[in-house]
Amino acid sequence: MSLTSGLFKGDSKLEACAALDPSHIYQGAPAGISVGDHVEKIQAALKIIDGAVIDPKELSGKRYGPSTAGAVLKFKTKRRILNYKGELDPIVGKGTIAALDKLLPSPSSTPTATPGPLVPEVVPFSEALPFLISRQPHSLAKGDLKSSRTLPLPTKTILAAELLSPTTKQLHEAILAEQIVLDSVSGTTIGIEQAKFFFRNTGFLVTRTHALGSPLASLVQTSPEFKKAHNSVKSFITDVLRAGAAVGVIDYHDLAEPKKKVPPPGVGFRTLPLLGYIGSFQGVDIFLNDFDADAVKRTYKADLQYQFFDHFGVDDSDTIPDSHGHGSPGQIALWILQHERHPEHMPFITRVVMDQSISGEPF
């Protein structure tokens, strides 16, 4: 059979796979079979049809590795494509390549005057902002955002709590003393500012924003965790654009969050010297604020906005001493203020906002 889709048609190795059993494509095959442009087209087809998530290293190397094999197996399982033994396997053979080809768009029937590489159409960016491309929600129902008492102070911390004076002034001093020690390490006053905001806050679920250029946003932006997360986001965006270009259209709408093609990055920032008031972020949103692509050079520019969320408050478990710094006098004092002195002192949501651009990224 001849392949008819715009992505597969005319590729000698894929055409051979569709006609000859020895030309099956699979993980562990010789490099001429398991590496190459034909593998890249299979990966693109899996992403287009099923939204498959494939290891960026396999994509950049055009290699039929474990995640590509896994995506093939999921594709075949969903459609009950069995081998000659009546079993499922992660191999691209006649039936698999035919099924992929059938589900891909056919090429335009209009002949081109001069044959050459496909130059994809670029959909201009025209969007009512914000345009969300990735989200890990933070729960507003978590105990660290509750102000009223729900449980007695855990028994393991009663003795430590009794050592604190019940007066508000000295409880404040206990927390500030802890924050000042932390700030002497980080070289900032972020902890003191956060604590003072807690003392003044009387609103429920108030959000305090730290914009780009603020001390907290600067610490996050320069951390190795953020750099790793941003590189991961760039890789996924590039993969989506590459898959679209393979079928002739570069459309930023393919990045929309409901399509789940840009997974949210991890939100742990353990190298930040801020563990007294941010152990790890509890949620993240990523927005696309602008986008453009050069279809001929295969490069793109994108303006992203990251919003990381944390809760400045403590729940019952934070008052139990452990090796991670929980159960300190400052945290116990904060628990008493938050859960027993309500509404004078209330937890709040910390939001760190950072704009980050990607320029000239090839795909």
Amino acid at 318: D
**Residue 130 pLDDT greater than 50, yes or no:** yes
What is the model's pLDDT at position 189? 73
**Residue 111 pLDDT greater than 70, yes or no:** no
**Helices (runs of H) and strands (runs of E) counted in the chain:** 12, 7
What whole-number distance in Å separates Cα of residue 348 and Cα of residue 146? 10
Question: What DSSP string describes 170-205?
Answer: HHHHHHHHHHHHHHHHHTSSHHHHHHHHHHH--STT
For residue 55 the two structure tokens come to 């290891």
Amino acid at 133: I
Instruction: Calculate mean pLDDT across residues 128-157.
Output: 79
Average per-residue pLDDT in the chain? 82
Q: Quick one: pLDDT band at residue 124, thresholds 50, 70, 90?
A: very high
**Residue 263 pLDDT greater than 60, yes or no:** yes
What is the model's pLDDT at position 177? 55
Q: What is the pLDDT of residues 30-46, one digit of tens each?
A: 988 999 999 999 998 99
Domain boundaries defined on the chain: 12-111, 131-362
Q: What is the DSSP pairing of strand 299-312 with strand 348-362?
A: antiparallel
Tell me, rounded to whole angstroms, the distance of Cα 113 from its chain centroid.
43
Tell me, rounded to whole angstroms, the distance of Cα 223 from its chain centroid.
16
**Residue 72 pLDDT greater than 90, yes or no:** yes
**Phi, psi dihedrals of residue 207, rounded to the nearest 5°:** -110, 130
Q: Which residue has tokens 């159960």?
A: 327
Asked which of 228-242, 282-296, 336-350 is least confident by mean pLDDT, the reply is: 336-350
**Residue 277 pLDDT greater than 60, yes or no:** no
> Which of 292, 341, 282 has its CA nearest to residue 135?
282
> Which of 326, 352, 285 has its CA nearest to residue 144?
326
What whole-number distance in Å separates Cα of residue 257 and Cα of residue 79? 26
**Residue 49 pLDDT greater than 50, yes or no:** yes
What is the model's pLDDT at position 337? 76
What whole-number distance in Å separates Cα of residue 105 and Cα of residue 49? 10
Q: Quick one: pLDDT band at residue 5, thresholds 50, 70, 90?
A: confident
**Phi, psi dihedrals of residue 281, rounded to the nearest 5°:** -70, 150
> Which of 305, 88, 310 has its CA nearest to residue 194?
310
More confident residue, 203 or 173: 203
> Which of 100, 103, 71, 96 has its CA nearest to residue 81?
96
> Which of 352, 203, 339, 356 has its CA nearest to residue 278?
352
Using the 8-state DSSP alphabet, how is residue 3 labeled?
A: -
Q: What is the pLDDT of residues 77-102, one digit of tens each?
A: 998 998 888 899 999 999 999 999 88
**Residue 348 pLDDT greater than 70, yes or no:** yes
Q: Edge-to-edge, what's the strand order for the sheet holding 131-136?
A: 131-136, 283-294, 299-312, 348-362, 207-210
What is the model's pLDDT at position 159? 42
Q: Quick one: pLDDT band at residue 279, thresholds 50, 70, 90?
A: low
Using the 8-state DSSP alphabet, how is residue 35 labeled?
A: B
Q: Quick one: pLDDT band at residue 190, thresholds 50, 70, 90?
A: confident
- Asked whether 250 and 295 are in contact (CB, 8 A), the reply is yes
What is the model's pLDDT at position 134? 96
